[in-house]
Amino acid sequence: MTTLAPALSPAPASSAVHVGRGNGQAHALLTPLIQRIFADDREYRHYAHSPVAADPAALQDFIFAADEGGAVDPDAIFHRLRWGGQFVFASRHGRRVAQLAEEFDRDGFRLEREPAFIRKAWPFLSFLAPRTHYFAARKVHLIRPGEFTERFTYHVELVPHQAAEDEEFVVLKRVPSLESLVAKLHKKFPETPIEAIEKRARKFTDKIFPTFLTREAAILKILQEHLPSRYAHRVPRVIALEKDIRGFVTCLKMNWLRNGGRRLSQIEFAMQAADLLQAVHDSAGVLHLDLRLDNMVITDQGVGFIDFGSSMRVTENLATNPMLDALFSELMRTSHIQRMLYHMTTSGQVTAQHLCDKQGKADKGIDVFYLSLQFTTPHANPDLAGLIHYDPQSEMARQISELSKTVLRPGDPTDTSHKSAKDILRSLELIERDINRRARR
């Protein structure tokens, strides 16, 4: 078999060791490897001992495997790793390591450490000591090649960035190729003639995707210019971009807002998200319009927002651009958030008039609506599961849930006391005070 461990720390082993305890061969291979190769690695020291590493149900930043003759499934490893996480494999057999490294140097991974070896520390004749062969592969894609999801439309991956000392990797977001989009649409609509699929795919790759990517680059620059400095590191920053001959952005590089900050309480998560949304709305004058948990991160700087691809300025008048007007009108009808708002208003789960009136519209209310849902179930995003302490049975969770219901379904449908992110933040602060007061009793 192959022994897997989310992380092993230099001796003495920490609570991050979950699998392989008591397995002598696994420890004989992995412990010396970590002590000599990874112990002084800045990334390992920071992320392998985060709260996530102690939670076997959470996605991991490091997974170590000790070879005992069994198979290693890259697909299974891919889905256990956090984006940007590393898989480290160790074996006594160099050929086994080289073969597996070749399998991992594609399909969503890239080799972080080429196959190499260390020798067991012997006091004499060390050149005769047994070798431990190893390699490390990093998860650089969000989805495996050939997989198709509703969430990931563009080609997105982590790429090395040599120009900045503090940013070894950046996020590359690129208009997908015509071939990949045709394959995705054909899988989703197998009965549609291929000619029709190709025509639709060409429209997206030639016009729609470049338009939205160009707008995202512009929105990110607005955020950097107008957000107060304390929020600037909690949204992406444009590092580089490429344009086609028409001036449309086809490739965008941004700094990587990596998940893995300190573990937050549910109330801290909610307050930081509401505080950032207030700044995005009121200081930068930007609407996010796709504020799902998938687009929230928890970094060393706190809660951040990513993917401003659907965003627009608060004061923007789309009517002056017929093509943009048509695109956003379609987006406001078909987006996941708009569909949910429609469902919840028609079912009576949302009765606040100022939210019901926002159906099909680009408005701050859309962000407020979805924010008030997201902080009630923060573990719905597996990337955040190990980074937020959430107990659905706790008094904190109960009060936050009650606040969400008040926002969405107030006693008086015309009540506008929770119309903005600032209003929600104020109520969250009151909940925090009450929780702290109870804790002091």
State how far the Cα of 225 lies from the Cα of 382, in Å rounded to an integer: 32
Q: Which whole number is the average pLDDT over 208-221?
A: 94
State how far the Cα of 278 lies from the Cα of 299, in Å rounded to an integer: 19
Question: pTM of the full predicted structure?
Answer: 0.89
Residue-wise pLDDT for 270-289, tens only, equals 999 999 999 999 999 999 99
360: left (phi over 0), alpha (psi -120 to 50) or beta: left
Q: Which whole number is the average pLDDT over 62-70?
A: 80
Domain stops at, among 139, 165, 187: 139
pLDDT at 12 over 60: no
State how far the Cα of 334 lies from the Cα of 351, in Å rounded to an integer: 21
DSSP state of 92: S
Q: What is the predicted pLDDT for the residue at 359?
A: 86
Q: Can you tell me which residue has the tokens 């208009």?
A: 175
Same domain for 355 and 386, yes or no, is yes
Share of the chain above pLDDT 70, in %: 87
Q: Rg of the chain's alpha carbons, rounded to an integer?
A: 24
Q: What is the predicted pLDDT for the residue at 55?
A: 64
Lowest mean pLDDT among 6-10, 148-152, 404-408: 6-10
Q: Which whole number is the average pLDDT over 34-56?
A: 79
Give me the domain span that covers residue 9.
Answer: 2-139
Same domain for 277 and 289, yes or no, is yes
Domains of the chain: total? 3
State how far the Cα of 314 lies from the Cα of 216, in Å rounded to an integer: 14
Same domain for 108 and 205, yes or no, is no
CB 27 within 8 Å of CB 68? no
Domain stops at, among 209, 235, 256: 256
More confident residue, 287 or 53: 287
Q: What is the predicted pLDDT for the residue at 69?
A: 57
Q: What is the predicted pLDDT for the residue at 54?
A: 60
Domain stops at, among 200, 228, 256: 256
State how far the Cα of 433 lies from the Cα of 419, in Å rounded to an integer: 22
Same domain for 340 and 203, yes or no, is no
